[in-house]
Amino acid sequence: MFVSMETSIGVQEPPPGEAVHSTARLWASAAAVAALGAWVLFDAHPGLNWPLWTGAAAAGLIALHRHKRADSSANPVLLLGIAATTIAGAAAVTASNRLHAVIFASVLVLLAMQMLLSVDPSWSRITARFAVTAPPVALFHAVLCALRRAVEATEHIRSTRARAWIRGLALTIPVSIVFALLLAEADPTLARWRDAIDAIVSHWAFLPRVVFFTALLGLVVGAYGYALTAPTMASSSVTREPARWLGATERVMLLAAVTALLWLFLALQVGYLFGSLPRMAATDMTFAEYARRGFGELTIVASASAVLILLSERYGQRDRHAPMARVLALALVVADLLVLSSAFHRVMLYEAAYGFTTARLYAQAYMLIVAAALALLALEVARGLDTGRLFRRTATVAVVLFVGLLYWNHESWIAHRNIERFASTGQLDVAYLTGELSADAVSAIVNALTLLPEPTRTELRTAVQRRYATHPLPARERWFEWNRSRVRAKASF
C-alpha cells in the first residue's frame, strides 16, 4: 500500500560509481547523528537536546539530498528542516508534557515530509494526503533503504581490504586493553576511567543505550539512503482532474440551501449571537451554557461549511450555473466568518466570567486558523480552486500560530490573568492553577502571590508546594536538558 503512494515519483539507485562514493559519507553522517541522539536523547528530559538532534538530522537530509533547486531559499526540504528545528526548540521553552507530545508529533511529520521530498523537492507534492501519510510512508521507505544499505555493508566487509581491517582490529583492541589496564595501576586518572567502565559493564547499563543507538542508526541510514536515491522519469507534478460526481444543479441547490439557512440564522439571532446577555426571554439558558454552545455548535457549523464549499468546488460539475455556485460559496464564506466571530466572542465572554484556561485559549487559536482557512478558501473560489495550494497556505498559518503559542508561555499568562481577576471577582480556581497547569506557570504564580490577600495567598502557595513535593522537578540536569520553564520554576521555590 505504501509503495503505491509513492509511485508518482518512484526512486532508482544512482550509478554504481557514485553509489560507492556516497556510501562512506552516508554511514559517517548517519553514525554521527545516531551517536548524538544516543548521547543527548536517551533517558533525558526534553530540553536543548530536542532542537540539537532535530537540527542535526534535518541538516543531514539537506546536505545529502541531490536535487536542490537553484533558489535554495524556496527549497521545501530546507524550509521543512527549519520548521522542524524551530518547533523542536520549544522543548527547551515549555515544561508541559502535553505540549511535548504535540511537539514530538509535529517534528515527526515534518521530518517525514522532508525525507520524502528529498528525492523530488516540489511544492506541488505537499498536499493534505501527503502530510497525513508521510510518517508511515517515510518509515516504510526508511526501513527498506536501511536493509538495502546493510546488505551493501556486508558485501564491503567481505572484501579483501575490509578483512585486513577486521584482523587488525581483532589484534589491536585486546592488546590496547591489556596495556591500559596495566597503566591504570600507575595512574589515578586511568584508574578512575577503568573503574567507571567496569561499573557500566558490570551492571549492563550500556546495553539499552546501545540498542537505542542501533535503532536510531537504522532509521537515519534509511532516511539518508533514501535522500541519496534518484527519482525516476515519472513526474511528481502531474495532477489528475478529480471525478466530478456532484451535479451542477445539485451543487447549486445544496449551497443555496445552506447559505440561506445560515444567513437566516444570523438575521434572526443577531442580538443573541453577539450580545452579552446570559439569558433570553422564555429560556432558562445559563451564561455558561450560552457561551459553551457558542463555541461548540457555531465553530462546528463554520468548519463543516468550509468543508462543504471545498467538496463542492473540487467535485462539483461545471456548467452555466458555475458563476452562481461561486457567488453562493463566497456568500457562505462570509456567513461562516460572522458565525466564527460570534463563537470567538462567546469564548471571550466565558473567560471574562469564569477565568482563563488552556482549553479556552486553544479554542480561540483554532478559530483563528479556521478564519484564516476561510479567507484563503474565498481566494481559491474566486480564482479557481487548487486544494494543494490551499492546504500549504493554511498549514503555513497554522505552523506560525503554533510556534508563537509554544514560545509565548501562555500558561504563565493564564495564571497571571486569573490571579489579577481575583481583585474584581473574588474567585480563584486554585485547583486548576496548581493541578492542571504545568511548571510553565510556576514562576508567574509565585511572582503574583503578592497580589492576593490572606488566606488565599497561603492556600495557593501551599497548593504549589504540595504539587511539586508530590511530583518534584528534576534535581540535576545535564546541559543538554536545559529547559527555561523548569529552571525558572526551581528558582521560584
What pLDDT was estimated at residue 343?
A: 82
What pLDDT was estimated at residue 3?
A: 43
Range of the domain at 207: 2-231
Q: Is the pLDDT of residue 121 over 90?
A: no
Average pLDDT over residues 379-390: 87
Q: C-alpha angle with apex 380: 378 to 384, nearest 5 degrees?
A: 130
Last residue of a domain, one of 174, 204, 231: 231
Q: Is the pLDDT of residue 70 over 50?
A: no
Is the domain of 112 the same as that of 260?
Answer: no
Residue with the bigger pLDDT between 59 and 294: it is: 59
Q: Is the pLDDT of residue 254 over 70?
A: yes
> Between 358-383 and 410-425, two packed helices, what is the crossing angle to 10 degrees?
120
Is the domain of 317 the same as that of 378?
Answer: yes
Residue with the bigger pLDDT between 27 and 293: it is: 27
In DSSP terms, 468 is beta-bridged to: none
Q: Write the DSSP assignment of 169-213 as a string of letters.
A: HHHHHHHHHHHHHHHHTT-HHHHHHHHHHHHHHHTTTHHHHHHHH
pLDDT digits (tens, 9 = 90+) for 331-370: 999 998 988 888 888 888 888 888 899 999 998 999 999 9
Last residue of a domain, one of 401, 419, 438: 401
3-class state of residue 298 by DSSP: helix
Q: Is the pLDDT of residue 71 over 50?
A: no
Is the domain of 397 the same as that of 415?
Answer: no
Is the domain of 252 the same as that of 378?
Answer: yes
pLDDT digits (tens, 9 = 90+) for 259-269: 898 888 888 76
pLDDT digits (tens, 9 = 90+) for 440-474: 999 999 999 988 998 999 999 999 999 988 888 88
Last residue of a domain, one of 401, 436, 466: 401
Is the domain of 256 the same as that of 284?
Answer: yes
Is the domain of 394 the same as that of 415?
Answer: no
Q: Name the residue among 361, 352, 357 with its Cα closest to residue 421.
A: 352
Whether 239 is covered by a domain: the verdict is no
Whether 373 is covered by a domain: the verdict is yes
Whether 241 is covered by a domain: the verdict is no
Give me the number of domains the chain comprises: 3
Whether 20 is covered by a domain: the verdict is yes
Tell the burial category of 102 from Cβ atoms under 10 Å away from its Cβ (0-12, 13-18, 19+). Answer: middle
What pLDDT was estimated at residue 59?
A: 93
pLDDT digits (tens, 9 = 90+) for 2-35: 444 444 444 455 554 454 456 778 888 999 999 9
Is the domain of 396 the same as that of 417?
Answer: no
Residue with the bigger pLDDT between 59 and 323: it is: 59
Residue with the bigger pLDDT between 11 and 219: it is: 219
Q: Is the pLDDT of residue 172 over 70?
A: yes
Is the domain of 121 the same as that of 202?
Answer: yes
Give me the chain's average pLDDT, please: 82
Whether 237 is covered by a domain: the verdict is no
Look at the block and give the residue holding cell 578512575.
192
What pLDDT band is residue 487 in, cutting at 50, 70 and 90? very high
Whether 238 is covered by a domain: the verdict is no
Is the domain of 299 the same as that of 388?
Answer: yes
Average pLDDT over residues 417-441: 90
Look at the block and give the residue holding cell 504545568.
438
Is the domain of 16 the same as that of 160?
Answer: yes
Instruction: State how far the alpha carbon of 241 is from the alpha carbons of 54, 188, 245, 282, in Å.
Output: 37, 75, 12, 53
Whether 316 is covered by a domain: the verdict is yes
Whether 216 is covered by a domain: the verdict is yes
Is the domain of 39 the same as that of 187?
Answer: yes
Is the domain of 100 the same as that of 223?
Answer: yes
d(CA 255, CA 308): 8
Q: What is the 3-state secondary structure (H, E, C) of 351-412?
A: HHHHCCCHHHHHHHHHHHHHHHHHHHHHHHHHHCCCHHHHHHHHHHHHHHHHHHHHHHCHHH
Average pLDDT over residues 89-106: 95
